[in-house]
């Protein structure tokens, strides 16, 4: 009887997926689907939170007030995006605190791109243009992901994200209209961020362990390589338009495929950074831990104050 | 280490005068006042709202999706509650 029940539930779940009906928090779902979502959404949330660090690095040194206000607003958005995503993750029964601790211990990952340093102001341009551009490529299809709360969070995020990419590209355009030094700075930022940005789409389809199952569950709508190709095709003309050179000698338009062919990604570097050996992994985690520990007394005091107020009201 | 999260609150936003409050997501906060302030920062950074309600998530009692068929059946079977159920002559115009 019980087994029959489970089979019915599973059939109903699969039928919903087939008909593109969203799965909602209280609906029955297979454990593995729940686990995969918790892993993906939390990883996504951690990326938004850690993603504040490389750009936060430049807020006090933005070249003028306009750029400073914009960068501040962008970093605030990243914090907000992290909040939307953690809240979507919590609808699956996961604990926010445990999830954040998992990031600090290295058990949970975040996007490797944030383990690269932001050395010059031009990096703010490259990050907005390429990193947010790649994120948008990933996120737009996720607006149709099968889990309702995740899809709704992605709709909000995508709406807000497009300013992020445009402001980054605007920084690059401005630099490319400037002095020789400024042009060289923009090119240097592109040189350093191009390959890590391509790595943001994850391992190649042959090496990706989760892709097929996630596509069957309609969590993912495209494979890593498909998204990477879309990003390359969209970005190359943007670079050419303002006189920047993509640092890939094998990059060439393929008339037959209707896509750009590109060089091989340094997967060794990718796995090194994923496994904790990137230039800034230790620094990023240390900054997050410090924020958690330094803020602990504030969170505890706020809770104590709230409880005291409640008790006073009750008496 | 678990269990130190602030309580969870569900957030409802009225986007403009004349519309109802609509659920937008949730937020952690020590108390209701802080929940409103946090909800403002997280859910209305681009003037998405003019009014916020917060309700502690533990206070929400929801229907069970597994019972949906039985719960909503009474309405499904009463198609005569819709105006299109009734036949009226063509000449009657708008009614």
Q: Helix, strand, or coil here: A196?
A: helix
pLDDT at B3: 63
What average pLDDT is seen over chain B? 92
| B93 band by pLDDT with thresholds 50, 70 and 90 | confident
Reported as a single tens digit per residue, the pLDDT across B39-82 is: 999 999 999 999 999 999 999 999 998 898 899 998 888 999 99
**pLDDT at residue A172 in the model:** 98
Q: Which residues of A touch B34 (CB under 8 A)?
A: 302, 306
Query: What's residue A2's pLDDT?
Result: 66
In this complex, is the C-beta atom of B42 within 8 Å of any C-beta atom belonging to chain A? yes
pLDDT confidence of residue A4:
72
Nearest CB neighbour to A80, from listed B30, B45, B64: B45
Contact B6 A303 (CB under 8 A): yes
**Secondary structure E strands in chain A:** 252-254, 259-261
Written as one string, the DSSP assignment of A35-99 is: HHHHHHHHHHHHHHHHTHHHHHHHHTT-SSHHHHHHHHHHHHHHHHHHHHHHHHHHTTT--HHHH
Cα three-residue angle A145-A221-A206, rounded to 5 degrees: 135
Q: Do A26 and B65 touch (CB under 8 A)?
A: yes
The verdict on A225 touching B (C-beta cutoff 8 Å) is no
Residues in A 98-117 with any Cβ partner in B closer than 8 A: 98, 101
CB contact under 8 A, A87 and B27: yes
For residue B31, which of A52, A303, A217 has the smallest C-alpha distance? A303
Q: Count of alpha carbons within 13 Å of B35, Cβ hemisphere only? A: 24
DSSP B56: E
User: What per-residue confidence (pLDDT) applies to B4?
Assistant: 78
Asked whether residue B2 carries a pLDDT value surpassing 60, the answer given is: no
Whole-prediction pTM? 0.92
Give the pLDDT score at A239.
98
Q: Do A28 and B45 touch (CB under 8 A)?
A: no
Residues of chain A with pLDDT under 70: 1-2
Local structure of A203: helix, strand or coil: coil
How many other C-beta atoms lie within 10 A of the C-beta of residue A250? Answer: 9
B34–A306 C-beta distance less than 8 A: yes
- Residue B34 CA to residue B28 CA, distance in Å, equals 9
Residue B1 has pLDDT above 50, yes or no: no
Beta-carbon pairs below 8 A across chains A and B: 59
Measure the CA–CA gap between A237 and A235, rounded to whole angstroms: 6
Alpha-carbon distance of B91 to A296, in angstroms, equals: 74
Residue of B26, B45, B62 with shortest CB distance to A87: B26
HSE of A233 in the Cβ direction (CA atoms, 13 Å)? Answer: 13
| B31 to A76: CB separation less than 8 angstroms, yes or no | no
ipTM computed for the complex: 0.87
């Amino acid at each position: 009887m019980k087994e029959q029940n489970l089979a019915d539930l599973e059939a109903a779940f699969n039928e919903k997926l087939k008909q593109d009906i969203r799965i909602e928090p209280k609906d029955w779902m297979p454990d593995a689907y729940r686990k995969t979502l918790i892993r993906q959404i939390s990883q996504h949330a951690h990326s938004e939170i850690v993603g504040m660090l490389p750009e936060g690095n430049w807020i006090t040194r933005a070249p003028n007030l306009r750029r400073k206000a914009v960068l501040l607003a962008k970093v605030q958005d990243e914090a907000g995006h992290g909040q939307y995503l953690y809240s979507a993750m919590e609808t699956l029964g996961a604990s926010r605190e445990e999830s954040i601790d998992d990031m600090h211990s290295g058990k949970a990952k975040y996007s490797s791109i944030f383990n690269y340093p932001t050395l010059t102001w031009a990096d703010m341009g490259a990050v907005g243009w390429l990193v947010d551009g790649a994120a948008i490529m990933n996120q737009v299809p996720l607006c149709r992901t099968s889990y309702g709360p995740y899809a709704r969070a992605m709709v909000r995020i995508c709406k807000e994200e497009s300013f992020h990419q445009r402001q980054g590209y605007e920084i690059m355009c401005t630099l490319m209209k400037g002095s020789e030094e400024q042009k060289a700075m923009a090119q240097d930022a592109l040189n350093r961020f191009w390959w890590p940005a391509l790595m943001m789409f994850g391992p190649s389809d042959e090496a990706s362990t989760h892709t097929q199952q996630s596509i069957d569950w309609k969590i993912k709508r495209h494979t890593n390589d498909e998204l990477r190709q879309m990003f390359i095709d969209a970005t190359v003309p943007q670079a050419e338009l303002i006189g920047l050179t993509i640092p890939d000698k094998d990059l060439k338009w393929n008339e037959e495929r209707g896509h750009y062919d590109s060089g091989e990604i340094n997967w060794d570097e990718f796995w090194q950074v994923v496994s904790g050996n990137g230039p800034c992994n230790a620094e990023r985690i240390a900054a997050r831990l410090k924020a958690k520990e330094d803020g602990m007394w504030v969170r505890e005091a706020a809770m104590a104050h709230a409880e005291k107020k409640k008790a006073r009201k009750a008496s | 280490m678990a269990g130190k999260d602030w309580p969870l609150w569900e957030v409802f936003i009225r986007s403009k005068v004349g519309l109802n409050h609509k659920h937008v997501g949730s937020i952690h906060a020590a108390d209701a006042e802080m929940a409103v302030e946090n909800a403002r920062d997280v859910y209305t950074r681009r003037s998405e709202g003019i009014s916020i309600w917060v309700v502690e998530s533990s206070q929400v009692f929801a229907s069970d999706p597994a019972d949906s068929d039985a719960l909503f059946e009474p309405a499904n079977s009463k198609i005569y509650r819709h105006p299109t159920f009734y036949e009226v002559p063509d000449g009657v115009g708008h009614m």
